[in-house]
Structure 1
Amino acid sequence: MIGLYDYMLLIENLSFSFPAEKGKNPIFIDLSMKVKQGEFVSVIGASGSGKSTLFKLISGLLQPVSGSVAIKGVVTKKILGKVGYMPQKDLLMPWRTLMGNMLLPAELSRSDKKRSIKQISEWIDRFGLTGYENAYPHELSGGMKQRAAFLRTIMTGKDLLLLDEPFGALDSMTKRSMQTWLLDLWEELEKTVIFITHDLEEAILLSDKIYILGKKERSLREIKVEFPRPRTPDLIYDPLFLEKRKELERLIQHEGQMETMEQ
């Protein structure tokens, strides 16, 4: 039996609208969501359905009108700083080197700098960024920037990671490589990941389950993904994978969102 503390994230009856629109155009109405510890969960939906707003509510950047958000079984309005949040853009500081950017979480938490540099150096090697410690963001490729941004998110030390379309701006070949890299790393780190994407294949390949965020109904629909792990990019050619993709397309079409999703 699953208890409250088995959930890394538990959202119950959450409602939200921006102050100027309160009572007129709510973003969410009685939205609920359950994410177990160690799960990889994707959130898909049309532009304007509220995906990034949902992340801001989970991270504490916004406060709900009603309902609750619990992290590790604890309901609190002071969520800010309890999750690792990687927004759509890498937000690497252009005037800082790779190492300088990675040190930012340690500086904000006033951790020991020497110890942090040693730890970061080990992670840089595992992230395939060795030799670029003193490089500036403009000297890195798109994939390297995303790995660096993810490493900075890891360095926050949080168990729940929110990744907002981290591969959306990458070309298809780089994206496939990054998906494989992320899967391998997630299985090693045993973190809980919630991942926003517009790419249906990406959502199926990476996830244990998928939430479809309805633009009309302002609700979440849960879809389980039961393909065994570990998974490889070749899975996208499996007939069962294609059937799962068609299922998602039908559900999205039912929500009236199909024209705005990637094909």
Structure 2
Amino acid sequence: MLSIEKLTYAFENARPIFQKISMDVKVGEFVSIIGASGSGKSTLFQLITGLLEPDQGEIRINGENTENRLGKVGYMPQKDLLLPWRTVLDNVLLPLEVSKENRQRKIPQIREWLGRFGLAEVEKSYPDELSGGMRQRAAFLRTIMTGKDLLLLDEPFGALDSLTKRNMHSWLLGLWGELQKTVLFITHDLEEAILLSDRIYLLGRESLQEVKVSLSRPRSTEIIYQSEFITMRQELERLIHDEN
């Protein structure tokens, strides 16, 4: 789904944020990127989406090496960016309007997804009437409605309180099998990365390290108390410490 080879990028007159990093994301995988603040995680997303161009290296999406990557992936930033003057339903319909698809024909399908996302009863509500978790679910559904197979999620649960975040994890784990999407996910939360992911990449100044998550699916949030999970978290903490 996504292949990055020997990618190098630096802002003007600055040292490279990363040099010659390579990674692959297979179809249907959930892959997280972790790393210290300033390691270039969000910059990497901007390169993948086409908002920035690399100094060196290649980015392939679905096997295509194209400089015009804008619109090739679905992107969800940490802030939900829901339009305050539009209802939940109208916010979710926005990608269809941008792509000039027939919105009326899609409404029954979208209402079905609203039900799966626990938003059916608030489809006529406005963003300021929703809880933080509902806003993020609406923003996530809007990202899915772009129709893109590869979704880039940049700390989508980072601004939520711990209880709401845990509920979002349970919700996403329960929904994951139905989504049939490929996800690249940025997080600072090591538990979140292990709980949700098939693989994790640790992005450092000079390297990109891969960690495989051997936990079987389906998963529940209770897995965080198991010894295998705790050992994996300790290993990630060690790798981050060594990187710094």
For 1:34, the equivalent position in structure 2 comes to 24
For residue 220 of structure 2, the aligned residue among 221, 225, 232 is 232
Q: For the residues of structure 1 that align with 2:104 and 2:192, how far apart are their CA atoms?
A: 38
Structure 1 residue 86, shift from structure 2 partner: 0.3
For 1:172, the equivalent position in structure 2 comes to 162
3-state secondary structure, aligned to 1:167: coil
When normalised by structure 1's length, the TM-score is: 0.91
Q: For the residues of structure 1 that align with 2:90 and 2:241, how far apart are their CA atoms?
A: 45
Q: For the residues of structure 2 that align with 1:183 and 1:193, how far apart are their CA atoms?
A: 13
For 2:84, the equivalent position in structure 1 comes to 94
Give the number of aligned pairs: 244
3-state secondary structure, aligned to 1:70: strand
Where structure 1 has 5 or more consecutive residues not aligned to the other structure, the ranges are: 1-7, 257-263
Deviation >3 Å, runs of 4+: none
Structure 1 residue 60, shift from structure 2 partner: 1.0
Q: Give 1:145's aligned amino acid.
A: R
Q: For the residues of structure 2 that align with 1:118 and 1:174, how far apart are their CA atoms?
A: 29
For residue 132 of structure 1, the aligned residue among 110, 122, 134 is 122
For 2:6, the equivalent position in structure 1 comes to 13
Q: For the residues of structure 1 that align with 2:228 and 2:109, how far apart are their CA atoms?
A: 42
For 1:119, the equivalent position in structure 2 comes to 109
3-state secondary structure, aligned to 2:6: strand
Q: Give 1:97's aligned amino acid.
A: T
Please tell me the root mean square deviation across aligned C-alpha atoms, in Å: 1.0
For 1:251, the equivalent position in structure 2 comes to 239
Structure 1 residue 118, shift from structure 2 partner: 2.2
Structure 1 residue 117, shift from structure 2 partner: 2.1
Where structure 2 has 5 or more consecutive residues not aligned to the other structure, the ranges are: none
Structure 1 residue 186, shift from structure 2 partner: 2.1
Q: For the residues of structure 1 that align with 2:174 and 2:151, how far apart are their CA atoms?
A: 15
Q: For the residues of structure 1 that align with 2:140 and 2:112, how far apart are their CA atoms?
A: 15
Q: Give 2:180's aligned amino acid.
A: E
3-state secondary structure, aligned to 2:200: strand
Structure 1, residues 122-171: CA drift from partner, whole Å, max 9, x if none? 21111110121111100000000000000000000110011110111111
For 1:4, the equivalent position in structure 2 comes to none
Structure 1 residue 66, shift from structure 2 partner: 1.0
* Aligned pairs (5 A) from 1:37-76: 37-76=27-66
Q: For the residues of structure 2 that align with 1:184 and 1:60, how far apart are their CA atoms?
A: 31
Q: For the residues of structure 2 that align with 1:119 and 1:229, how far apart are their CA atoms?
A: 27
Is 1:83 aligned with 2:76?
Answer: no
* Aligned pairs (5 A) from 1:198-237: 198-214=188-204, 216-217=205-206, 219-237=207-225
3-state secondary structure, aligned to 1:111: coil
